[in-house]
Amino acid sequence: MTDFSAQEAFNAYEAVRHRLPETIPTEVSYRQVETLEDIAPEFDVFLLDAFGVLNIGETAIPDTPERVRSLKAAGKRVLVVSNAAGYPHATLLEKYTRLGYDFAPQDVITSRATLLSELSDQSGLHWGLMATPSAGLRDLEALQLTYLEDDPKPYETVDGFLMIGSAAWTETRQAMLEAALLERPRPVLVGNPDIVAPREYGFSKEPGLFAHRLADRTGITPQFFGKPFGNIYDLAFQRLEHIDKSRILMVGDSLHTDILGAHNAGVVSALISGFGFFAGHDVEAAIEKAGIVPNFVVSRP
């Protein structure tokens, strides 16, 4: 599932800008620094993306566990704000611990949790689930779910669709989903708006890719949970209570999710250039083309 180059991924995000939050016009002006340590005194809270900031796939980004410890030791509040919807909360915490991080459960805020907060008001519905069965259903036990696999029956009968993990998704299943929606339109809730994610071997295709594709083909606009949409930031702000937004820094590797989302939420943003989405690519050209301008470009976390 890795036939995306960075340029193709960038183009895919640009093609769906009409479904993303509106860009705030900004002149191309940002500060370039080497690490987060260089700007740490300017902020009280650091919101860190996971893929491309904390880790690439199953590998911690060098020196980043030490950087997080240093920020915490300096009295900074450090939260993870991630579109990692495919994994239960406990599984993510176990992963971060394995990679050398020490995050409290309440300091890991995911698009999965954001989606679940919406579903708490929609009990009684039967959902078709795009997810990887091996990841398990912890956090989702209260929902009536059927995995969307190769049997066409659930596609026809469920009340709506949840898209949270695409590792096991296939073109055949995507075609069945689109056909079912064309036959009978129903809600589509997307727990991971990412189109791609950086991994050790390249880019993986994420639920957002398939959600935008079905929107193009069926005319149904999915409801997205996670960056760049404001719902995940609202959840983060609930954990922070009353903190001046000018003292909050969102750190991510993607213009169209992390940086656009930070702008939309009214917080300061920093784009990681040396790892993740733009590793080895021309960040300046991408910023200019997208018109999504971070406050900082940081070489490495």
- The CATH number of whichever domain residue 160 belongs to comes to 3.40.50.1000
Residue 179 placed within a domain:
yes
Residue 50 placed within a domain:
yes
Average pLDDT over residues 72-100: 96
Please state the pTM of the whole predicted model: 0.94
What's the start-to-end Cα distance of the chain, in Å? 27
- Domain end among 173, 203, 224: 224
Residue 11 placed within a domain:
yes
50 SS3 class: coil
How would residue 244 be classed by pLDDT, with cut points 50, 70 and 90?
very high
Residue 1 placed within a domain:
no
In one-letter notation, the amino acid at residue 138 is R
Average pLDDT over residues 72-82: 97
Question: Cα(1)–Cα(169) distance, rounded to whole angstroms?
Answer: 10
How would residue 3 be classed by pLDDT, with cut points 50, 70 and 90?
low
Helix, strand, coil share of the chain (percent; to 5): 40, 20, 40
Query: Looking at the structure, do residues 171 and 42 belong to the same domain, yes or no?
Result: no
pLDDT at 1: 44
Beta-carbon count within 10 A of 242 CB: 5
Query: Looking at the structure, do residues 127 and 68 belong to the same domain, yes or no?
Result: no
- Domain end among 202, 224, 246: 224
Query: Looking at the structure, do residues 218 and 243 belong to the same domain, yes or no?
Result: no
Angle separating helix axes 207-218 and 171-183, nearest 10 degrees: 40
Tell me the per-residue pLDDT of 128-163, one tens digit each, with 9 for 90 and over.
Answer: 999 999 888 899 988 999 999 999 999 999 999 999
Domain, as residue range, for 137: 114-224
Residue 279 placed within a domain:
yes
Query: Looking at the structure, do residues 69 and 156 belong to the same domain, yes or no?
Result: no
pLDDT at 57: 83
Query: Looking at the structure, do residues 247 and 259 belong to the same domain, yes or no?
Result: yes
What rounded mean pLDDT belongs to the chain?
94
Place of tokens 């795009």: 130
